[in-house]
Amino acid sequence: MAHNLPAFLSSFVGRREEMAAVAKLLDSARLVTLVGAAGVGKTRLAIQVASAAFELHGEGVSLARLAPVDDPSLVAAAVAAAVGVREQPGRSMLQALISHLSPRRLLLVLDNCEHVIDAAAALAEALLGACPELRILATSRQALGVAGEAAWPVPPLSVPPAQGWDANGLTDFEAVRLFVHTAVDTDPSF
**70-99: pLDDT as tens digits:** 999 999 999 999 999 998 888 999 999 999
What is the distance of C-alpha 75 from the center of its chain? 16
What CA–CA distance (Å, rounded) separates 138 from 6? 16
Give CATH superfamily name and number for 2-153: P-loop containing nucleotide triphosphate hydrolases (3.40.50.300)
pTM for the model stands at 0.83
Confidence of residue 1 (pLDDT cuts 50, 70, 90): very low
How far is the CA of 40 from the CAs of 72, 86, 141, 183, in angstroms?
A: 24, 34, 10, 19
The domains of the chain are located at 2-153, 159-190
